[in-house]
């Protein structure tokens, strides 16, 4: 290691130590300091480690978590950054926290959640490293962040341009993501996808990538899963979905916290249980399975690993509050929210209450008009069939009223609406109902509510 990077690492370590003594989290500042002193420090810190970067609009955190589960379950070690630290400073900090004073990081793998716009900064000094990049999907994110889907796709391309020898793991069902195959020099690409689609979706759900990325003709589909994901093809130029080598062929049953599926790896079919909740998480499980192949696991081990995946912060976290408990679900954009709506439409009964929480801080997205792109109508229709007299829809957050208006238009019974902006008072009310609650929350509502929940219920600790 050069003198410059040694010095940078030592100062970064000292910063982390100091923050620790002061009782502060060290997810970003050590990275800032280290990068200032040595901009390409990642090339040094990650030199003996195999790097797996995970990017894309939705599913990054769950996919990283699932990959880390698979890696550890099979006897390897890995370091990961937390969801809130997915930009360059956070990534460097996570290496700093794991490194010795001399900059040695004793791990087999680094599993890095990478913000789409930050990937190009993170990969910049990784040209000489062993890197695999997983791209989950590309959807329209909050309106005020990256603009159009093609802008997001271009940002990812810029990130891949720094690492032309990288191995890619791509979602075959996303016409935008799978076009990234052209970004790799050797065509070292592994596709994952869902064969045959899910029955409940229709072509009206497609809004983010309607037209062929090559010739602008409207795509046709053999089958659909979510949004624009599915077995797409273009009649005009012939661009079409690639056959995935890691795939779900059929979902035999959806359960509240898992799915029983027929899964195929290189055309060999297996029965598997993916222990992640919701149909949308099948993709995240598949991405992790594809990484299982990348790290050299045999099919049997990959299939076995699928049944011991766990969910991370904000992804259907169960909290023992009151008699029946609550499930906390994080929502960030229309596509992710629609996946949650699909889940609730399947699993929410009249015996469950729902809490909707929305803020408009910059981490949530300052323009909340995207809630009009969420298909609340589907959930409204279902709840009109199954609702009970005691069912309540709670609202909180700075923009709780906007959600109330949105849900009124979606056909929800406004007589069941209750707005409570004080988190402590809200928690007391929820505890008093004796009922189970699904909490669907934007990022900073979740952080704020979690703090207050921790005063009355046992909670997992997450780095921020
Ligand atoms: Zn075309």
pLDDT digits (tens, 9 = 90+) for 296-327: 999 999 999 999 998 776 677 788 888 888 99
Give the Å distance between the CA of 210 and the centre of ligand 1: 11
Tell whether the model's pLDDT for residue 207 goes beyond 50.
yes
**Residues 289 and 332 placed together within one structural domain of the fold:** no
pTM: 0.78
Please give the share of the chain, as a percent, with pLDDT higher than 70.
Answer: 94
pLDDT at position 83 is 62
Average pLDDT for the chain: 90
Let me know whether 152 and 293 are in one domain.
Answer: yes
Question: Which of 26 and 31 is assigned the larger pLDDT?
Answer: 31
- In a shared domain, residues 292 and 374: no
Query: Which 8-state DSSP code applies to residue 241?
Result: P
Cβ density class 306-320: b for 16+ within 10 Å, e for less: beebebbbbbbbebe
- 34: domain CATH number is 3.40.1190.10
Answer with the one of 280, 306, 332 that is the final residue of a domain.
306
Residue 186, pLDDT score: 76
Q: How far is the CA of 244 from the centre of ligand 1 (A)?
A: 20
- How far does residue 237's CA lie from ligand 1's centre (Å)? 4
CB neighbourhood size of 48 (10 A): 13
Q: Confidence band (pLDDT; 50, 70, 90) for 358?
A: very high
pLDDT in tens, 266-299: 999 999 999 988 788 999 999 999 999 999 999 9
461, part of any domain: no
Domain end position, chosen among 241, 272, 306: 306
Which tokens hold the place of 15? Answer: 């910063």
Report, as an integer, the average pLDDT of 98-113: 91
CA 368 to ligand 1 centroid distance, Å: 33
CA of 436 to the centre of ligand 1 (A): 48
Per residue in 2-25, pLDDT (tens digit) is 888 889 988 988 888 888 888 777
* Distance separating alpha carbons of residues 121 and 39, to the nearest angstrom: 10
The number of distinct structural domains making up the chain is 2
- Final residue in a domain of this structure, among 240, 271, 306: 306
Would residue 186 count as lying in a domain?
A: yes
Q: What is the pLDDT of residue 439?
A: 96
- Answer yes or no: is 458 within a domain: no
Is residue 463 very low, low, confident or very high in pLDDT (cuts 50, 70, 90)?
Answer: very low
Q: Which domain holds residue 237?
A: 3-306
411 located within any domain: yes
> For 266-410, where are the E strands, in sequence order?
268-274, 315-319, 326-330, 352-357, 393-396
pLDDT digits (tens, 9 = 90+) for 444-462: 999 899 989 989 887 765 5
The pLDDT score that the predictor gives to residue 464 is 34
pLDDT of residue 332: 83
Whether residue 55 sits in one domain with residue 197: yes
User: Is 285 found in the same domain as 170?
Assistant: yes
- Cα of 137 from ligand 1 centre, angstroms: 19
Residue 174's nearest CA partner among 188, 153, 199 is 153
C-alpha 114 – ligand 1 centre gap (Å): 30
CA angle 414–419–423, rounded 5-degree value: 150
Helix (H) or strand (E) holding 427: helix 423-433
Distance 5 CA to ligand 1 centre (A): 48
Residue 328 lies in a domain: yes
**Residue 228 phi, psi (nearest 5):** -90, 10
Same domain, residue pair 296 and 371 = no
Note the pLDDT of residue 420.
97
The DSSP call for residue 48 is: T
Q: Does 358 lie in the same domain as 211? A: no
The pLDDT of residue 337 is above 70: yes
Q: Are residues 237 and 288 in the same domain?
A: yes
Residue pLDDT, tens place only, 406-437? 999 999 999 999 999 999 999 999 999 989 99
């Amino acid at each position: 290691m050069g003198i410059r990077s040694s010095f940078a690492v030592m100062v970064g370590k000292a910063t982390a130590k100091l923050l620790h003594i002061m009782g502060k989290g060290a997810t970003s500042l050590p990275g800032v300091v280290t990068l200032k002193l040595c901009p390409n420090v990642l090339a040094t810190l990650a030199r003996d480690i195999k790097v797996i970067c995970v990017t894309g609009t939705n599913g990054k955190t769950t996919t990283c978590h699932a990959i880390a589960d698979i890696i550890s379950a099979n006897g390897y070690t890995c370091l990961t950054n937390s969801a809130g630290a997915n930009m360059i400073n956070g990534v460097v900090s996570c290496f700093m926290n794991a490194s010795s004073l001399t900059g040695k990081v004793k791990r087999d793998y680094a599993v890095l959640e990478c913000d789409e716009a930050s990937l190009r900064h993170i990969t910049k000094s990784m040209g000489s490293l062993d890197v695999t990049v997983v791209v989950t999907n590309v959807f329209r994110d909050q309106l005020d962040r990256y603009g159009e889907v093609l802008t997001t796709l271009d940002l990812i391309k810029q990130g891949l341009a720094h690492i032309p020898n990288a191995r890619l793991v791509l979602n075959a069902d996303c016409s935008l993501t799978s076009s990234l195959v052209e970004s790799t020099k050797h065509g070292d690409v592994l596709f994952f996808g869902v064969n045959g689609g899910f029955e409940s979706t229709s072509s009206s759900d497609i809004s983010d990538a309607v037209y062929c990325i090559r010739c602008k003709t409207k795509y046709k589909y053999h089958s659909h899963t979510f949004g624009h994901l599915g077995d797409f093809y273009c009649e005009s130029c012939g661009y079409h979905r690639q056959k995935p080598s890691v795939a779900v062929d059929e979902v035999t049953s959806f359960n509240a916290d898992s799915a029983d599926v027929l899964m195929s790896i290189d055309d060999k079919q297996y029965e598997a249980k993916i222990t992640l909740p919701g149909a949308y998480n099948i993709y995240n499980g598949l991405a992790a399975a594809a990484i299982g192949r990348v790290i050299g696991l045999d099919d049997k081990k990959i299939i076995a690993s699928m049944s011991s995946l766990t969910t991370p912060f904000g992804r259907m976290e169960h909290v023992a509050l009151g008699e029946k408990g609550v499930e906390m679900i994080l929502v960030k954009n229309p596509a992710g929210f629609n996946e949650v709506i699909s889940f609730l439409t399947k699993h929410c009964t009249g015996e469950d209450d729902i809490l909707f929480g929305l803020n408009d801080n910059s981490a949530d997205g300052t323009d909340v008009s995207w809630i009009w792109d969420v298909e609340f109508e589907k959930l409204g229709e279902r709840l009109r069939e199954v609702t009970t007299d005691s069912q309540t829809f709670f609202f909180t957050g700075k923009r709780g009223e906007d959600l109330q208006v949105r849900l009124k238009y979606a056909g929800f019974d406004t007589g069941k609406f209750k707005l409570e902006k004080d988190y402590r008072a809200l928690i007391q009310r929820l505890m008093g109902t004796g009922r189970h609650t699904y909490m669907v929350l934007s990022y900073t509502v979740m952080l704020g509510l979690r703090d207050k929940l921790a005063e009355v219920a046992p909670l997992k600790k997450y780095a921020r």
